[in-house]
Amino acid sequence: MVKSLRLAVLLALLAARGVPAVEAERVDLELWCDLDPIVQEGSAAGSLSREEALRRLLEEARTVLSGMIYGYSFVYTPSDESRKVAETFRLTARAEIPWGDERLSVAGTRLDSSRLYALFRYKLDPEQEAWRTAWQSGAASKASGTGTGNVFLGYHERTAALYDAVKEAIRGYLRPGVPNKPREVRGELLLWEVPGTTMSSGEYRTRVVIRLRIAALTPYRVY
């Protein structure tokens, strides 16, 4: 009950805060949520309430913005049928934007048919700004990829599509320069541009542009 009340207050404050003063360094992120989703989740039936839609969008905004500001570390093992090795991919957030962060605001919302759009704005502090600037160096490579999530498995599949896109970006980056599949790849990355998500044919499709640094590339031993 207390958690629900806090959530309602937070959403009300965010929606009422409006457009903040324009800052030199900030991240703007527009996300959308269907008010009449294909799949009903939880105990609610019928159309999604505006409050629940905003809650989902806020949670997604926290995930995306955390990836754009703090980034991730990753461990990737490509599949190898000849060695009977299954593909594995682990993405670990370096840090997360907390609930109630005063630098996160809703700059505006709009309704298009049954789809609610919300524009989120996050003002970077000097340390966050410096961290993103450091990723512009030549030591960090740029890559892009597209991933998918199953619409019929629920709204959380949007995050699955995001992570799948990150994995595909890493694969696409490695493929030209690493002709032999490695046993394991470790590194870190930052979501460099605002991801774009569409929905068609029962899939969420998300495209990402990342900056990444490979920390270790372990080959298979040859005897």
Contact indicator for 207, 195 with CB cutoff of 8 Å: yes
Q: Is pLDDT above 50 for 13?
A: no
Q: What is the pLDDT of residues 17-67, one digit of tens each?
A: 433 333 448 999 999 999 988 776 654 556 889 999 999 999 999 999 999
pLDDT of residue 16: 40
Give the Cα separation of 115 and 108 in Å (integer): 14
Q: Tell how far CA 165 is from the center of its chain.
A: 9
pLDDT-above-90 percentage for the chain: 69
Buried b (16+ CB within 10 A) or exposed e, 189-214: bbbbeebebebeeebbbbbbbbbbeb
Q: Is pLDDT above 90 for 164?
A: yes
Q: Tokens representing 127?
A: 């340390």
Q: What is the average per-residue pLDDT within 154-167? A: 96
The number of beta carbons lying within 10 Å of the beta carbon of residue 172 is 13
Residue 67: name the closest of 150, 144, 153, 132 by CA.
132
What does the mean pLDDT of the chain come to? 86
Q: Is pLDDT above 80 for 177?
A: no
Write down the pTM of the prediction: 0.84
pLDDT of residue 83: 86
Q: Is pLDDT above 90 for 69?
A: yes
Phi/psi at 118 (nearest 5 deg)? -135, 130
The number of beta carbons lying within 10 Å of the beta carbon of residue 184 is 14
pLDDT of residue 20: 35
Beta strand ranges found along the chain (DSSP E): 26-34, 72-77, 88-93, 104-112, 115-123, 141-150, 184-191, 196-200, 203-218
3-state secondary structure 66-89: HHHHCCEEEEEECCEHHHCECCEE
